[in-house]
A = this chain, B = another copy of it.
Amino acid sequence: MAQNNYKNQPYDSVNPSYKQKRGKLKGADEYVEGIRSGNRAILSMAITVVESSRESHQKIAREIIRQCLPFSGNSVRIGITGVPGVGKSTFIEAIGKKLIEDEKKLAVLTVDPSSTLTKGSILGDKTRMPLLSTNENAFIRPSPTSGSLGGVARKTRETIILCEAAGYDAIFIETVGVGQSETTVKSMVDLFLLLMLAGAGDELQGIKRGIMEMADILAINKADGENIQQAKQAKLEYENGLSLLPPTPSGRRATVHICSALRDTGISEIRKEMNQYIEDTKKSGYFDANRENQAAYWLHQTVEDQLKQQFYNHPEIKKVLTVKEAEVKKGTVSPFAAAQELLRLAQTNPNH
């Protein structure tokens, strides 16, 4: 088993049966066929193609996605976030186990814009989710290891499409690290779950308010042993805090739960609440409306990211940008005049 998480390894080291096929699996059709048949090795290879920045790969990737698109959209997409040490992996293992027991297929994707620096998360993912990483109905895929947050987001969203076409019922999108990536994840999921700890009176610290406002479900983890009382207290405090906030755009108030992923307490209740959330939002029409808005958002986001990238990668701009920035900071040129100058420069030399 453990056929996942090998994106940086040569394909044939993963699954010997693909050794002879190596070099042959080139057409998008073959990828799509493999994905649709539930072959995790091919799914993983297809994701690698999607993540590649080589133009030849990108061309195949576009075709793979085009063909997968009609089979996508049928999963429940759940974002899971929380500060390091909150027990995200253990939580995902615990709730994932229940999904698999109910014969659901689960894909876990991570979004980590900092992974460019850390690397090595491949081994990490295997170690930290031993159960899921050896179960054939689970698929774990670490974050693309390069690119801007925008790039990582695009790749993750396209990976969702592939996983859905492969028949995964639930897709967990886990943020690693705190702060930047939550908004991005929020914009690609149906439900956003925030994991927390019951601290010593500092319930509101560490977590940016904005993130709490984004959450559809809050779960206070590690509510076991001596922590139970504190967790119950924290639950009340969070419920209080949330009652002061306006309801989330779904029209549904966020709920607070306590659990111990390690001891498997409270996990079933959270899963039940997740299902209830999906049921309620599907009934109200929010579920579909949200997905439509997300799609439109990503259309605009991609356009705008690309426009910026083209501009900042323009050789003429690269040459003068820091000089202009320095002038603007010194106050010798107004930011607006400098911007006009740069825009003219990029437009009169469009050959890049």
Where the two chains meet, the residues of A that have a C-beta atom closer than 8 Å to any C-beta of B are: 62, 65-66, 69, 72-73, 154, 157-158, 161, 202, 204-205, 209-210, 213, 244-245, 292, 295-299, 301-304, 306-308, 311, 324-325, 328-329, 331-340, 342-343, 350
Complexed CA–CA distance, A325 and B302 (Å): 13
**Smallest beta-carbon distance A130→chain B, Å:** 34
Among A73, A154, A295, A311, chain B packs the most CB atoms within 10 A around the CB of: A295
Report whether A302 and B69 are in contact in the complex, using a CB–CB cutoff of 8 Å. Answer: no
A292: B residues at CB distance < 8 A: 329
Closest Cβ neighbor of A293 among chain B residues: B329
Report whether A157 and B336 are in contact in the complex, using a CB–CB cutoff of 8 Å. Answer: yes
Closest Cβ neighbor of A204 among chain B residues: B244
Complexed CA–CA distance, A66 and B307 (Å): 28
**Smallest beta-carbon distance A16→chain B, Å:** 33
Enumerate the 5 nearest inter-chain pairs by beta-carbon distance, A residue then B residue, closest first.
Answer: A302-B339, A298-B335, A209-B209, A292-B329, A299-B335
Complexed CA–CA distance, A338 and B303 (Å): 9
Complexed CA–CA distance, A298 and B332 (Å): 14
**Do A69 and B331 contact each other (CB < 8 Å), given the known contacts A302-B336, A303-B311?**
yes
Report whether B339 and A306 are in contact in the complex, using a CB–CB cutoff of 8 Å. Answer: yes
**Smallest beta-carbon distance A67→chain B, Å:** 11
Report whether B202 and A329 are in contact in the complex, using a CB–CB cutoff of 8 Å. Answer: no
- Find A69's partner among B332, B339, B350 (CB 8 Å cutoff): B332
Closest Cβ neighbor of A295 among chain B residues: B328
**Do A157 and B307 contact each other (CB < 8 Å), given the known contacts A202-B244, A299-B328, A325-B299?**
no
A297: B residues at CB distance < 8 A: 335
- Find A295's partner among B154, B205, B329 (CB 8 Å cutoff): B329
Report whether B158 and A336 are in contact in the complex, using a CB–CB cutoff of 8 Å. Answer: yes
Complexed CA–CA distance, A173 and B306 (Å): 34
**Smallest beta-carbon distance A243→chain B, Å:** 10
- Find A307's partner among B213, B311, B337 (CB 8 Å cutoff): B311
Question: Given A157-B335, A303-B342, list of 13 further CB < 8 A pairs?
Answer: A62-B336, A65-B337, A69-B332, A69-B333, A69-B334, A154-B336, A158-B336, A209-B213, A295-B335, A296-B335, A298-B336, A303-B343, A304-B307
- Find A158's partner among B245, B295, B302, B334 (CB 8 Å cutoff): B334
**Smallest beta-carbon distance A232→chain B, Å:** 20
Complexed CA–CA distance, A334 and B299 (Å): 8
**Do A343 and B65 contact each other (CB < 8 Å), given the known contacts A299-B324, A336-B157?**
no
Closest Cβ neighbor of A302 among chain B residues: B339
Complexed CA–CA distance, A315 and B336 (Å): 25
Complexed CA–CA distance, A350 and B347 (Å): 10
A66: B residues at CB distance < 8 A: 333-334, 337
Complexed CA–CA distance, A282 and B298 (Å): 42
Report whether B336 and A296 are in contact in the complex, using a CB–CB cutoff of 8 Å. Answer: no
Report whether A331 and B204 are in contact in the complex, using a CB–CB cutoff of 8 Å. Answer: no
A296: B residues at CB distance < 8 A: 325, 328-329, 335
**Do A72 and B331 contact each other (CB < 8 Å), given the known contacts A202-B244, A302-B336?**
yes
A210: B residues at CB distance < 8 A: 209-210
